Amino acid sequence: RHFAPSGENAMLRKQARERREYLFRKSQEDKEKAQQERKRKLKNALDAGKPIPTELRAEAAELQRQLQFDDSNTAEVRDHRDDEYRWAGAEDPRVVVTTSRDPSSRLKMFVKEVRLMIPNSQRMNRGNTMLKELVTVCHKNEITDLVIVHEHRGEPDGLIISHMPHGPTAFFSLTNVVMRHDIPDAGTISEAYPHLIFDKFSSALGQRVKSILKYLYPVPKEDSTRVITFANVEDQISFRHHTYKQTGKEVALSEIGPRFEMKLYQIRQGTVDQSDADNEWTASHFLNTSKKKRYL
C-alpha cells in the first residue's frame, strides 16, 4: 500500500484547512450581505418617514441599534474576492504555462509565445500529468496562477487561467490566433515588464475579468516601451502586443505578437481541478439573438 510522505500529507491538510476557511468566509459574507440589506431597508423607511416594512418589524429595534454603530468601514460588506488578490502588486506573480495533454507541434509553439507574453512565467511540459497533480505542483512551488492552453485539430482554441490557491478560474475560447512568425516584421520580445491597456471593461464582470488578467503581470517600470492591450469589443477581447518608440511628439508602434481574440464563457470560484466549485458566472447558450446583451 502506498503512503504519501508526511510532508506531503501536511501540505494537503493545510490546503484543505485553508479551503474550508475560505468557504466559511464566503458563507459568512452571504449572511452579512443579507443583514446589510435589511438594515438598508429599515434606514430608508425611517429616513423617509414611512412605516417599517412588515418583514422587519420583529427585529427593527435590534437593526436600529446596529445602525448606530455602522460607519464607512462596517456599512460595506467585505467581498470574499478581496482575499484572492490581496498580495497582488506587493509581490511579482509566479505563473506556470502549460498545454492540454498530447499537444500538437503548433500548440507547443503557441504556448512558448504565451510564456514570452507573460513575464516571470515558466513553461511546463504537460506529458500525462493530471489536473490534480498540476495544481498540487503549483501549490508546492507557491505559483500564483496556472495558465492552460487547449486546441482543436491543431488550432489553439481555449485558454484557462486558474488563480492559486483557491481560485477563481476563468475559461476563455480563443479565435483568430496569429503567431509571431506570421506577423510581418515582428520584432524581438523585450524582457521588460509591459504596460497594460484595458479598454471598455466597464461592468462589474468586466472589472472582475480585468483583475484576473491584470494580476498575471508584474508592475512595469515607467520607462518600459512594451505595451499589451486587452480591448473589449462586444464581449470579444482582442489581445495585441506592441513595443513603441517615441521621437519628439511622434510615437511609432511595432507589433511583436502574438495576436488573438478571447471570449469569456465561465468563471468558477475554485481552482481548475475543482469541477464541483461554485459557478460565479456562465455565459448563456441563448445569446445568439438580434439584440445581444453586453456583459463586460
Q: What is the pLDDT of residues 211-241, one digit of tens each?
A: 999 999 999 999 999 999 999 999 999 999 9
Report the C-alpha gap between 225 and 44 in whole angstroms.
51
Whose CA is closest to 44, among 63, 69, 71? 63
Grid cell at residue 176? 483568430
Can you tell me the mean pLDDT for 289-293? 59
The predicted model gives 135-163 an average pLDDT of: 95
Mean pLDDT of 182-208: 92
Q: What's the CA gap between 174 and 156, in Å, rounded?
A: 7
pLDDT tens per residue, range 87-122: 777 889 999 999 999 999 999 999 999 999 999 899
Beta strands in the chain (DSSP E): 95-99, 121-123, 145-152, 155-163, 169-178, 195-199, 226-233, 236-247, 250-255, 259-268, 279-282
Which pLDDT does position 35 carry in this prediction? 80
Yes or no: say if 110 and 156 are a contact pair by the CB < 8 Å rule.
Answer: yes
Q: Residue 87: how many CB atoms within 10 A of its CB?
A: 11
The predicted model scores a pTM of 0.77
Please choose, from the candidates 72, 73, 93, the residue with its C-alpha nearest in 3D space to the C-alpha of residue 84: 93
Highest mean predicted confidence (pLDDT) among 88-92, 192-196, 281-285: 192-196
Closest of 205, 193, 184, 165 to residue 84, by C-alpha = 165
Residue 10's pLDDT is 76
Neighbours of 228 (CB within 10 A): 20
% of the chain at pLDDT higher than 90: 53
Average pLDDT score, the chain: 86
- Strongest mean pLDDT among 37-41, 54-58, 164-168, 231-235: 231-235
More confident residue, 26 or 269: 269
Q: How confident is the model at residue 292 (pLDDT cuts 50, 70, 90)?
A: low
pLDDT at res. 2: 47
Q: Is 241 exposed, middle or buried (0-12, 13-18, 19+ CB in 10 A)?
A: buried
Is it the case that residue 203 has pLDDT exceeding 80? yes
The CA distances from residue 95 to 124, 163, 175, in Å, are 10, 9, 23
What distance in Å separates the CA atoms of residue 21 and residue 24, rounded to the nearest whole number?
A: 5
